[in-house]
Every structure is written in structure tokens, then in C-alpha cells.
Amino acid sequence: MPHPIRFVLVGTSHPGNIGAAARALKNMSLEELVLVRPADFPHPQASARASGAEDLLARARVESDLAAALRDCSLVLATTSRERDQYFRVLDVREGAARALEAAEQAPVALLFGSERTGLSNAELESAHALLRIPANPAYSSLNLAMAVQIVAYELLRARLQSRAVAGAAQPDGPRNVPLASVAQMERFYAHLAEVLEEIDFRDRTQAGTHLMKRLRRLFQRAEADENEINILRGILTAVQQRRRHAG
């Protein structure tokens, strides 16, 4: 089971933003909120802005320093709207969301958000593996803290749904009950196919005369046929041979 993706808010000055961030996480099926040195929490404004996510707000962990918030995390991505040292790797928010989901398969992941006025300090960025950048108007790129949390949380949910869709497309009927055809079964199929193509005089018309079977092999290898499917294909080939014999 994937590890949690932790949203870490550092030095938040407005309690309403904490509540709005909790609501954003719950909207996007995320559950772990950590607050580092919040100016004022708990606070009625935080509860009011949570608006249905009071349970997530109540579970929010408060830490006195960033190191404690990140202690068990493997990947740390930090949000920033400012230009930073050129040695920082910068990920687009969509790319970063996909990377966070991938890393969460192995260990907890943290996403850092700085204070409303100054963002994250250079010292706070030292633990980050990369910066997360939300595309915005270059002339006015600073987002409200809760808005930034909402966008990143949305991209995480989007990436998770896309990952599930890709997995479902690979196996549209659910997990296979029949094993994939073995290498030996595929080789027998290819030999049978080549035999039938020869019988019906379906030949490679290219100058080299060697590409047809290579292309057909690639086609069937991409299909990842199971044993039943290969048996069906070989049955078709056998039927073609029998019909030709009956025709004389």
C-alpha cells in the first residue's frame, strides 16, 4: 500500500489558510497535514475555513522544527514562486505530482509550503530534492497559500486517477486468469504462421524479403497474448490449411 503524501506548511501566519488547506486536502482524498511553527493554531478561523474537513484539521500534527516534520520522508519537494539557485532541479507541478506518487510506493513523501509573506527560506530548502513550480503569470506569480495547496493536491489526485486508468487499460477485464503464452508456445505459433503464409503465397515484397515476419512478431509480442488467445489464432491457421486442402 502506498505511503502517505504529507503536506507540510511552514510558518503559516493566517489560521484561515490552514483551514482552507485542510479542506483542499480532503477534497482531493489526501489526509496528512503537518504544521511547522504556525503563528496561531488551533484557531476558530481555521475551523471555519475547514468547512467539513474539521476531522483532518484535528489530526494535523504540529512540529517546532522542519527536521521533525520530515524525519521519515524519502522524497521532499518544495513549492516556490521565486527564482532560486540554478543548482536546484525544478519540476512542473504535474511532473512533480507523478514523481511524488511514484516515490510514495516506497516511503513517505513531503511537499513543502512556506509562509504567506516570505515563502521558504534557503535553509528550509536544504532538505528538498527538487522545487515544484506552478505555472503562472510571470508578472504576478505569487499564489495564495491555500490556492497553491489546492492546485498541488488536485494534480496529485489527477495523477493517481491517470495511473489507475493506465493500469485498467492494460488489463480491461481485470487480472488475467489465463497465463501469458510461453516463449515456446509463441515460437510454435510463429512457425505455424510462417507455414500458412507460405502456403497462401503471402510473401514479403520488400527488396530484402526478410521484414514481414519481424514485423508480425513485433505486432504479436506487443499484444501479450495469453495461452487461450494463441490457441485461437492457431485454430484459425489450421482452419485456413484445411479449407485449402478441401479446395484441392
Are both 75 and 145 inside the same structural domain? yes
pTM of the model: 0.68
Are both 161 and 192 inside the same structural domain? no
Confidence band of 16 (pLDDT split at 50, 70, 90): very high
Residue 85: predicted pLDDT: 56
* Assigned domain for 175 exists: no
Please state the domain count of the chain.
2
Cell of 116: 504567506
Residue 169: predicted pLDDT: 63
Average pLDDT, the chain: 88
For residues 127 and 70, the answer to whether their CB atoms sit within 8 Å is yes
**Where is the domain boundary, 111, 141, 170?**
170
| CA gap 203, 248 in Å, rounded | 21
Write the pLDDT tens digit of every residue in 131-169: 899 998 988 888 999 999 999 999 999 999 998 877 666
Are both 84 and 21 inside the same structural domain? yes
* Assigned domain for 176 exists: no
Residue 176: predicted pLDDT: 55
Residue 159: predicted pLDDT: 95
Mean pLDDT of 29-35: 97
Are both 114 and 228 inside the same structural domain? no
Mean pLDDT of 111-128: 90
**Helical spans, DSSP H, in 11-144:** 15-27, 44-50, 54-59, 66-69, 93-103
* Assigned domain for 178 exists: no
Are both 164 and 234 inside the same structural domain? no
**Where is the domain boundary, 170, 192, 222?**
170
CATH number, domain of 127, equals 3.40.1280.10
* Assigned domain for 102 exists: yes
Are both 91 and 9 inside the same structural domain? yes
Are both 21 and 78 inside the same structural domain? yes
Domain extent for 35: 5-170
CATH number, domain of 220, equals 1.10.8.590
Are both 14 and 112 inside the same structural domain? yes
Kindly tell me the sign of the dihedral angle through the C-alpha atoms of 155, 157, 158, 163: positive
Are both 76 and 157 inside the same structural domain? yes
Report strand pairing: 32-36 vs 5-10: parallel
Residue 172: predicted pLDDT: 54
Mean pLDDT of 46-70: 95
For the cut 90, the answer to whether the pLDDT of residue 225 exceeds it is no
For residues 156 and 110, the answer to whether their CB atoms sit within 8 Å is no
Confidence band of 86 (pLDDT split at 50, 70, 90): low
**Where is the domain boundary, 135, 170, 205?**
170
